Structure 1
Amino acid sequence: MRLTKLEHAALVIGESGGELYVDPGKFTRPVPASAGAVAVVITHRHDDHWTPEQLTRIVAANPEARIFGPAGVAAAATGFAVETVEAGDTVEVGPFRLRFFGGRHAVIHPSVPVIDNLGVLVNDAIYYGGDSFTVPGVPVEVLAAPAAAPWMKISESMDYVVEVAPRRAFPTHEMVLSPAGMALSNVRLAWATEQGGGEYLPLEPGDAIEV
C-alpha cells in the first residue's frame, strides 16, 4: 500500500490500482478528481473532516465509490449515499478491508455536544482514530497521530501513541498549528513513538510512504 498524507486530517491510500480517501475536509486542498477511488471513509461530521464539495469532486470522478461513516455523517451528508457503519463492523471494498472502532468524539468542552466518531483500521495495518484517542487493541503498523486540536493537549496524544505502540507514526490534524507549534508536536510525538520501539515520520502534506 501507498499512503499519502494530505493537509490536516485527510489521507489517500492506494492499493492494487484502487484508492481510499479518508476525511477530506475544509482544511484540505481540493482532492484530485482522478478515477480510481473505490471508497471514502468519513470519521465524523465536523467540516474539517468532510465537505460536500470534496465529496462531490470524488464521486463525480468515481460514481461507484462507496462512502462510509457513522450515523451522524449519514444524517449530515444529505444527497450522498453514505453507508452507516458502527464500531465492530468490518467492510470489504475493492482491495481494502476496513475495520471500525470507537464510537464517540473526544470531549471538547462540556458546553459542546459529543458526536459520534469512528476510528478505521485499513488492511490491518494503517490506523486513524478520527477525533478520538480510541485504542484499537490490535497491532498497528502505521498510526496517524493527532498533533493538535481543540479536544486535546499534546500529553494526551503522547500517551495515546505510547499505548498503541505502532511500528511507525506520522502527524495528522496539524492545520491548527503554526510551523513552530508543529515542530514542537513532532518532537513530542517522536519521543512517544520511540518508547515502543517505533519510528516517527514527520510527514508534510504530499509526502507518501509504502506500507
Structure 2
Amino acid sequence: MQLTHLGHAAVLVEVADRRILIDPGNFSSAWHNLRDLDAVLVTHQHPDHIDPEQVGGLLANNPQAAVHVEPQVLKAVDLGERGEPLAADGSIDLGAVRVDAVGGLHAVIHRDIPQIGNVGLVISAAGEPTLFHPGDSLATVPLGIDVLAVPAYGPWAAMKETIDFARAVNAADGFPIHDGLLHERGVKLIYGRLEAMTATQMHDLRAGKPWTL
C-alpha cells in the first residue's frame, strides 16, 4: 500500500493495482491534475471533502474511474451520471480492493446545526495493510485497522476526543488529515499529543510525497 496525503482530507491510496482518491475537497489543489484513477470516494457533502467547482474536471480527466459517494452528496453536488451511492454498512469491490462504509452521521458541530450523512471508509486488500479514513466523525471504531487517517482538527472536534478515538482504533500507524484550518504550530501540537498519548506511530505526510507501508 502506498499513501499520499494531498492536503486536508484528500488522500490517494494505491493498493492492489488500484488508484483510489478519497475526499477531493476545496482546501487543497494537489489532486486537481490526477490521472489514471480507478475510483473516487467521498465521505460526505461538505466542500472541503468534495469541491463542487473542481470535481467535474477531475472526473473528466478520469473517465474510467468509479465514483462512490455518501448518498446525500448526490443531491448536493452535480456529478452528472457518474455518482453511485455508498451508504453506511455498504461495501464495494474495486478489483482486489474492498471498501466498507461505516458510521452514517457527521459529527455534531452544534446542536442547532442539523447533522448530515458521513461514511467512514475502510479500505483493505489481501496481504496489505487496512486503512481507515473516517471523514468527519469519530463515532465509529472498526476492528482490524492498521493505518488510521486521523482528523487533526475540525469545528466539531476537541483534542480529548481525537486522542480517545486514536486510542480506541489502536492502529499501528497513523497520519494527520483534516488539517486545513491549522497553522504550523497547531499541527505540531496535535501531532505531538497523538504521538505521545497513543500507541499509534504517527507519520507527517504533509509534504505530499508517497509513503509506502
Q: TM-score range by the shorter chain?
A: over 0.9
Matched to 2:36, the amino acid is G
* Pairwise CA distance, 1:91: 0.3
Equivalent residue for 2:203?
201
Identity across aligned pairs (percent)? 32
Q: What corresponds to 1:158 in structure 2?
A: 163
What amino acid is aligned across from residue 12 of structure 1 in structure 2?
A: L
Alpha-carbon distance in structure 2 between the residues aligned to 1:17 and 1:191: 35
Mind listing any 5+ residue stretches in structure 2 that lack a counterpart?
none
TM-score by length of 1: 0.92
Q: d(CA) in 2 for partners of 1:26 and 1:93?
A: 26
Deviations along 1:50-71, one digit per CA (max 9) or x if unpaired, are 1133322321121121111122
- Asked if 1 retains the 8 angstrom alpha-carbon contact of 2:56 and 2:79, the reply is no
1:182 matched to 2:187? The reply is yes
State the shift of 1:32 in Å. 4.5
Q: Displacement of 1:156 after TM fit?
A: 0.4
- After superposition, where does 1:32-71 map in structure 2 within 5 Å? 32-71=32-71
1:136-151 matched pairs, under 5 angstroms: 136-151=141-156
Over aligned residue pairs, what C-alpha RMSD do you find? 1.6
Take 2:132 and 2:50, find their aligned partners in 1: how far apart are those partners? 18
TM-score, structure 2 as length reference: 0.91
Decide whether the 8 Å contact of 1:69 with 1:85 is kept in 2: yes
Contact 2:141 2:168 in 1 (8 A): no
How far apart, CA to CA, are the structure 1 residues paired with 2:2 and 2:54? 21
- What SS does structure 2 have at the residue aligned with 1:206? coil
**Structure-1 residue corresponding to 2:26:** 26
1:46–1:5 CA distance, 2 compared to 1 (3 A):
same
What residue is the counterpart of 1:191 in the other structure?
196
Q: Give the direction of change, closer, same or farther, for the CA distance of 1:34–1:172 in structure 2 (3 Å limit).
A: closer
> In structure 1, what residue type is equivalent to 2:25?
G
SS at match of 1:50: coil
The answer as to whether partners of 2:4 and 2:205 remain within 8 angstroms in 1 is no
Alpha-carbon spacing, 1:168–1:30, altered in 2? closer, same or farther (3 Å): closer
Report the secondary structure of 1:83's partner residue. strand
Supply the distance in 1 between the matched residues of 2:95 and 2:28 (Cα, whole angstroms). 25
**How far, CA to CA, are the matches of 1:53 and 1:104 in structure 2?**
24
Deviation track 1:59-104 (CA, whole Å, cap 9, x = no partner) reads 1121121111122111112243211111111101234211110000
1:116 aligns with 2:103: no
Return 5+ residue gaps in structure 1 as ranges. none
Q: Are 2:33 and 2:58, in contact at CA under 8 Å, matched by a contact in 1? A: yes
Superposed structure 1 runs of 4+ greater than 4 Å apart = none
Length, aligned pairs only: 208
Corresponding residue for residue 103 of structure 2 = 102
Aligned residue for 1:53, secondary structure, equals: coil
Q: Deviations over 1:165-193 (max 9, x none)?
A: 00101101001011111110011111243
